[in-house]
Structure 1
Amino acid sequence: MSSQTTAPQRRFKRPVVFVCDIQDKFRTAIWNFDKMVLTAAKVLRAAHILRLPVHTTTQNRARLGDTVPELAALLTPRPEGGALIHPSVDKTRFSMWVPEVAAQLAGDERSNGNDNAGENGGRGAPAEVILVGIESHICVTQTALDLLANGHKVYVLADGVSSCNREEVGVALARLRAEGATVTTSESVIYELMGDAKVSEFKQIVGLVKETSAQTRDVLQSLL
């Protein structure tokens, strides 16, 4: 019998994180804004542990401000490694799928050694996009629809999106399920990113989950 052990199998082949328009000017307008920010922070911490690409946008930054300061350190590249943090892209479209972000996503694939990144109509291999931000029924929805149309998989985190009006959120999530997006939660997707307790990052991820467990419970009770 062979003594070789099977390498752990990760469930996602090309995971990335999209952070949509979590800006200061929305703080008092968005339902449970601070709760959504907590989820975004947890996902970004996981992204650093797992060394995932992160794409961030702002909507009309000159009027609506920068991404919130609570996420600033997590959206800064780390000299010792961590997530691949791309420069934030400012936009006026109600979708993150703008040429600059599409080019960043193609660059992610090339940096992973895939020489076929320009194939499949310029889309490259499908990415598994983990999406957080605002507003669920506008920019999150249009981003998800554009990603799906371009052949990518989309995981919208129900505890990581919100809108000005609470009632919009459930309608948006129901529509996105019908369109082919996966609606899930931050803890579920973090474990799916690992796929196996044998992955090298398991202890760090479990530590993150335990550290944020009370916050996670509070966010789920507030947003869902």
Structure 2
Amino acid sequence: MAAARPALGRVLPGSSILFLCDMQEKFRHVVYFRQIVSVAARMLKVARLLNVPAVLTEQYPQGLGPTVPELGAQDLQPHTKTCLSMVPAVQQELDARPQLRSVLLCGLETQACILQTALDLLDRGLQVHVVVDACSSRSQVDRLVALSRMRQSGAFLSTSEGLILQLVGDAAHPQFKEVLGPLTPDLPLLPRKQQMPFQLPRYSGRIHPGI
């Protein structure tokens, strides 16, 4: 079977990794923090079901606290860091997986650690898939501009639902129902009039007719 062309941004379980960035106690005041963590927790659950590895970072935990328990990542050993990018802290995880092509990126804050992580990964020739409903910032202006910046640099912007469907691939997959689960409630992460640096189609909140 021919390999997926990088420009298409296909996501396959055997060549993907989930990055969970800095979802820590001191960030609870960030806009939509609870919703962001909930979506990231769903991504982690799916990653486990499909044997997609996951890595977790904490930014200066002495000051910003530990990862929040709601993420459900207690079995992951956090990589502590002071650098905004996750990459220096998790370089060994990347080096240990020569088959790696795609990084699914969730966490905080979009204009800081998410952006710099994405740029470092792109610079290493990896595909970056930013889970837009699992990334936020204190300022939604910062968030939207950072998403546009990453897209300009070559990152793919997707939703958790879209990436999960790519990973499972087929309704005949034995874990399809368990992986898909209930539809994630639509989050108010886009301006109502879509006044943003890039245009997205209006989202109805439903993926499949009849669901």
**Contact 1:43/1:186 (8 A) holds in 2:** yes
- Separation in structure 2 between the aligned mates of residue 150 and residue 217 of structure 1, nearest angstrom: 34
Q: CA deviation at 1:31?
A: 1.2
Are 1:92 and 2:113 counterparts? no
- Separation in structure 2 between the aligned mates of residue 69 and residue 169 of structure 1, nearest angstrom: 24
Are 1:223 and 2:189 counterparts? yes
Aligned AA (2:164): I
Q: CA deviation at 1:200?
A: 2.8
Aligned AA (1:217): P
Query: Structure 2 vs 1, CA of residues 166 and 45 (structure 1 numbering), >3 Å: closer, same or farther?
Result: same
Q: Please, which of 85, 90, 95 is the counterpart of residue 106 of structure 1?
A: 95
**What 5-or-longer segments of structure 1 have no aligned partner?**
1-8, 78-84, 110-123
- Separation in structure 2 between the aligned mates of residue 105 and residue 95 of structure 1, nearest angstrom: 14
- Separation in structure 1 between the aligned mates of residue 81 and residue 11 of structure 2, nearest angstrom: 32
Query: Structure 2 vs 1, CA of residues 175 and 11 (structure 1 numbering), >3 Å: closer, same or farther?
Result: closer
- Separation in structure 1 between the aligned mates of residue 74 and residue 174 of structure 2, nearest angstrom: 23
Alignment of 1:119-134 (within 5 A): 124-134=98-108
TM-score, length-scaled by structure 1 = 0.76
Are 1:178 and 2:152 counterparts? yes
Q: CA deviation at 1:97?
A: 0.4
Aligned AA (1:51): N
Aligned AA (2:73): L
- Separation in structure 1 between the aligned mates of residue 91 and residue 80 of structure 2, nearest angstrom: 13
Q: CA deviation at 1:21?
A: 0.5
Q: Max radius of gyration: which structure?
A: 1
Which residue of structure 2 aligns with residue 168 of structure 1? 142
Aligned AA (2:189): L
Are 1:62 and 2:62 counterparts? yes
TM-score, length-scaled by structure 2 = 0.81
- Separation in structure 1 between the aligned mates of residue 41 and residue 11 of structure 2, nearest angstrom: 22
Q: CA deviation at 1:38?
A: 1.1
Which residue of structure 1 aligns with residue 53 of structure 2? 53
Q: Please, which of 153, 161, 166 is the counterpart of residue 127 of structure 2?
A: 153
**Contact 2:94/2:100 (8 A) holds in 1:** no
Q: What are the superposed Cα offsets for residues 103-138 of structure 1, whole Å, 9 maximum, x if unpaired? A: 01222x2xxxxxxxxxxxxxx344211100010001
Higher relative contact order (CA 8 A, sep 6+): 1
Query: Structure 2 vs 1, CA of residues 157 and 65 (structure 1 numbering), >3 Å: closer, same or farther?
Result: same
**What 5-or-longer segments of structure 2 have no aligned partner?**
5-9, 191-211
- Separation in structure 2 between the aligned mates of residue 200 and residue 23 of structure 1, nearest angstrom: 34
Which residue of structure 2 aligns with residue 14 of structure 1? 15
Query: Partner of 1:75: helix, strand, or coil?
Result: coil
- Separation in structure 1 between the aligned mates of residue 26 and residue 171 of structure 2, nearest angstrom: 40
Q: Identity across aligned pairs (percent)?
A: 39
Task: Tell me the matched-pair count.
Answer: 182
Aligned AA (1:55): V
- Separation in structure 2 between the aligned mates of residue 163 and residue 11 of structure 1, nearest angstrom: 26
